[in-house]
Amino acid sequence: MEPFIRSEQYNFIKLQTQILINGHATANDRDVINTLKTVSKERVLQLFSDLNEDQKQLLDPVDTIKDPAQAENFLLQIKPYVIPFKEITEKTIKKLFPKAKKLKAPSLETVDLREISYLGWDDHGSGRKFIIAPHHDTFTGLHGTIKPANKKGICAICSRFEEIGMFMSETKGKVQGTFIKKGNYICLDSMKCNQNITTLEKMTDLIERLK
């Protein structure tokens, strides 16, 4: 079976296992538990539009999860079927950020490519953040300055309450040669952000606002 689960879908499934564990720990009403099981399973299966029999069988046991050990075991079973983030070559980086000279891609050796939906890294010399995200079956690049907000807030990519920074990027204005600055609060720590993402909706919104 080929990998078919996207990283953010894996995070969503993980979240459902957490909801099930919490439910079993707090509810003692059988009906409540049964509803919770049904809803969780439905949510997981609805992530995918056309599951084949093998894929369905893999995901089916999600509603049997009661405790952290079972969740861990289940997540280990499905992890190999998560689609890893594509390797980014120097050539892709040059194409996405033609004006950034000598920009180095971050080392991905220590990164589990199944755990990222987008690649985000800071270029400390210039105080800029670079983001490579999938968009319309290809990659798109976003870049801008990043300034820590020194407080927690809602991230425009993962929607969680995290340590954020103001990501200020320039987009081309309607009049040729003009630029408009647009600011968005996003997680300072892109790896943490990736772990939080359970839908790509916000990322897509951000890309469309900034492109």
Q: List contacts with Zn ion (CB under 5 A).
A: 155, 157-158, 187, 193
Token look-up 């594509």 returns 86
**140 or 198, CB closer to Zn ion?**
198
Q: How far is the CB of 155 from Zn ion (least distance, A)?
A: 3
**93 or 193, CB closer to Zn ion?**
193
Q: How far is the CB of 108 from Zn ion (least distance, A)?
A: 19
Closest CA to 188 of 143, 148, 142, 128: 148
Contact (CB, 8 A) for 202 and 133: no
Closest CA to 17 of 65, 49, 69, 89: 65
Distance between CA atoms of residues 22 and 16, nearest Å: 10
**116 or 157, CB closer to Zn ion?**
157
Q: How far is the CB of 143 from Zn ion (least distance, A)?
A: 17
Q: How far is the CB of 141 from Zn ion (least distance, A)?
A: 18
| Nearest 10 degrees: Cα torsion 39, 43, 49, 55 | -90
**157 or 210, CB closer to Zn ion?**
157
